[in-house]
Amino acid sequence: MGPDEYLFLLAGLKWTVALSAIGFFFGGIAGLLVALARTSELRVVERITAGYIGVFQGTPLLMQLFVVYYGLALIGLKLDAWVAVSIGLTLHASAYLGEIWRGAIEAVPKGQTEAAKALSLNYTSRMRDVVLPQAFRISLPATIGFLVQLIKGTSLAAIVGFTELTRAGNMISNQIFQPLLVFGIVGALYFIMCCPLTLYGAHLERKFAKSAR
Amino acid sequence: MTQASMTTSAAQAMIAMERVEKWYGAFQALHDINLSVRAGEKIVLCGPSGSGKSTLIRCINHLEAYQKGEIRVGGTVLGHESKTIDAVRREVGMVFQQFNLFPHLTILENCTLAPIRSLGLSKAEAQGRARKLLERVKIAEQAEKYPAQLSGGQQQRVAIARALCMQPKVMLFDEPTSALDPEMVKEVLDTMITLAEEGMTMICVTHEMGFARQVADRVIFMASGAIVEEAPPAEFFTNPRHERTRKFLGEILGRH
């Protein structure tokens, strides 16, 4: 492997990071809306979002990416691979984060909402000032865990022809016929991104468990 | 508030409950509740657990919806739409058994959040008001701490100050000393007694019969979701009319 190959891998890595960031950012915004809808106490809204979450949790991410990439092309909406993959990852992340944050919102003691209501705080303030800050803290380990899944999940973008880290590795491996070396390096790069996050998540979990005692 | 509107609201009942009924599904939690509380009056609500006393006061600020009858607070009819609910909640403070302070906010922030968000006070105004009230409940030096750093008794006094920061006309207390260690009960009761002496309209769900004797204008006894008996404390404790009241008093006073 020469410097050109390494640079090519790093360019792929850059796209992996970008896809993860896009999916996590927009998925986070959409996920917050999903979580709020799931806890809205409006039965119809709760049912619809439960169905939404069910669909995305019950089907493989790869299939979701196929549907967005090829499916939208079939109805005449031809998207760039990176746009299609970003949309797919955003939808996927919104469902998972929505479900994680729903659980966290429901884990905030009911007395908190009652006290906020008794102080005549409206829904927006109850959520923004009282419930969500506490829910965010509760959800942090699981949220980080999902981010790790999402980073690894971006490798599926390779299959729709998007050159992120995994596909970059595949292309180089086909050129220099050293798959073990190339994919070893690719794996190490994923590991370097994910392992610190996993450790940080575990650290937070221990910290919260201690302070809850 | 103007002098004129003060006189009118003082003349009519501060809280009026008329033929209020509440169900949880098929279970009827409140039966035909009629209760009128004048401005400045102190009511103690007691009764065995499950008798509906907490449910009753939680209906007054609509933490629980009621299905029949009418509740009026300071002339506002409490409907089920957020406009009247918010209006009533601005006038009615509540203190909970479990304190329910916001654990991620400092004591001062706990006290300023609602005045800023709900009454539109500036941060400086809200902080000034909060510090004054924290001083009144003798906890001013803890203003920058977080709730978990305070004892239960201190937390409950903060909860009282937090409710008072909204300058409510009525205070509801839902078993405010039941979750406290015995040595902390007195400091909370003393705070409540001071508040009563200053003329606050109060409805207290409590089993502290000493407090009831000292402070209450009327003691109301509930059982099975209905008001069984109400009387001034002297009469209530010495000459209860109903068998269920006698039995309850026997149990609760026998314990002490």
How does pLDDT run across B172-187, given as a tens digit for each residue? 999 999 999 999 999 9
**Contacting residues of A for B162, CB less than 8 Å apart:** 119
pLDDT at B216 over 90: yes
In three-state secondary structure terms, B73 is strand
Question: Is some CB atom of chain A closer than 8 A to the CB atom of B8?
Answer: no
**Which residues of chain A have a pLDDT value below 70?**
211-213
Question: Is some CB atom of chain A closer than 8 A to the CB atom of B123?
Answer: no
> Which of B89, B98, B113 has its CB closest to that of A118?
B89
Question: Is some CB atom of chain A closer than 8 A to the CB atom of B245?
Answer: no
pLDDT category, B2, cuts 50, 70, 90?
very low
> Which of A112, A121, A134 has its CB closest to that of B114?
A121
pLDDT category, B5, cuts 50, 70, 90?
very low
Spell out the residues 6+ positions from residue B137 whose beta carbon is closer than 8 angstroms to its own: B157, B158, B160, B161, B191
pLDDT at B7 over 80: no
**Cβ within 8 Å, pair B113-A117:** no
Question: Is some CB atom of chain A closer than 8 A to the CB atom of B164?
Answer: no
**Cβ within 8 Å, pair B96-A117:** no
- Looking at residue A212, what is its pLDDT? 59
Q: Which of B60, B76, B117, B162 to mutate to test the interface with A (most CBs of A within 10 A)?
A: B117
Q: What angle do CA A68, A69, A70 make, to 5 degrees?
A: 105
**Cβ within 8 Å, pair A129-B113:** yes
The CATH number assigned to the domain holding A69 equals 1.10.3720.10
Quickly list DSSP for A167-199: HHHHHHHHHH--HHHHHHHHHHHHHHHHHHHHH
- Looking at residue A7, what is its pLDDT? 93
How does pLDDT run across B43-101, given as a tens digit for each residue? 999 999 989 999 999 999 999 999 999 999 988 889 888 889 999 999 999 999 999 99
pLDDT category, B255, cuts 50, 70, 90?
low
Lookup: tokens for B8: 């009118």
Mean pLDDT computed over B3-10: 43
Mean residue pLDDT of chain B comes to: 91
**Cβ within 8 Å, pair B118-A119:** yes
> Which of B61, B102, B159 has its CB closest to that of A130?
B102
Question: What ipTM was estimated for this complex?
Answer: 0.90
Q: Are A17 and A155 in contact (CB under 8 A)?
A: no
Helix (H) or strand (E) holding A166: helix A165-176
Q: Which of B82, B84, B99, B104 to mutate to test the interface with A (most CBs of A within 10 A)?
A: B104
Number of domains within chain A: 1
Q: What count of Cα atoms within 13 Å lies in the side-chain half-sphere of residue A124? A: 2
**Contacting residues of A for B100, CB less than 8 Å apart:** 109, 111-112, 114-115
Q: Are B107 and B162 in contact (CB under 8 A)?
A: no
Higher pLDDT, B8 or B168: B168
Tell me B51's DSSP state: S
Question: Is some CB atom of chain A closer than 8 A to the CB atom of B166?
Answer: yes
Chain B nearest-CA distance from A7, in A, is: 46
Chain A nearest-CA distance from B114, in A, is: 6
Q: Please state the separation of Cα A197 from the chain's center in Å.
A: 13
Lookup: tokens for A151: 């980073």
In three-state secondary structure terms, B24 is strand
Q: How far apart are CA B211 and CA B217, in angstroms?
A: 11
Question: Is some CB atom of chain A closer than 8 A to the CB atom of B103?
Answer: yes
Q: What are the Cα distances from residue B199, in Å, to B39, B166, B202?
A: 8, 16, 9
**Contacting residues of A for B166, CB less than 8 Å apart:** 119-120
- Looking at residue A73, what is its pLDDT? 85
Helices (DSSP H) in chain B: which residue ranges?
3-11, 53-60, 82-91, 107-119, 123-136, 152-164, 182-197, 209-215, 233-238, 243-254
> B40-49: b or e for each residue (b if 16 or more CB lie within 10 Å)?
ebbbbbbbbe
Helix (H) or strand (E) holding B229: strand B226-231
pLDDT at B6 over 70: no
Question: Is some CB atom of chain A closer than 8 A to the CB atom of B169?
Answer: no
How does pLDDT run across A143-202, given as a tens digit for each residue? 999 999 999 999 998 888 888 999 999 999 999 999 999 999 999 999 999 999 999 999
Q: Which residue range(s) make up the domain with A126?
A: 3-211
Q: What amino acid is encoded at A1 in this protein?
A: M
Chain B nearest-CA distance from A211, in A, is: 10
In three-state secondary structure terms, B70 is strand
Instruction: Tally Cβ neighbours within 10 Å of residue A62.
Output: 15
Quickly list DSSP for A53-99: HHHHHHS-HHHHHHIIIIIHHHTT----HHHHHHHHHHHHHHHHHHH
Chain B nearest-CA distance from A129, in A, is: 8
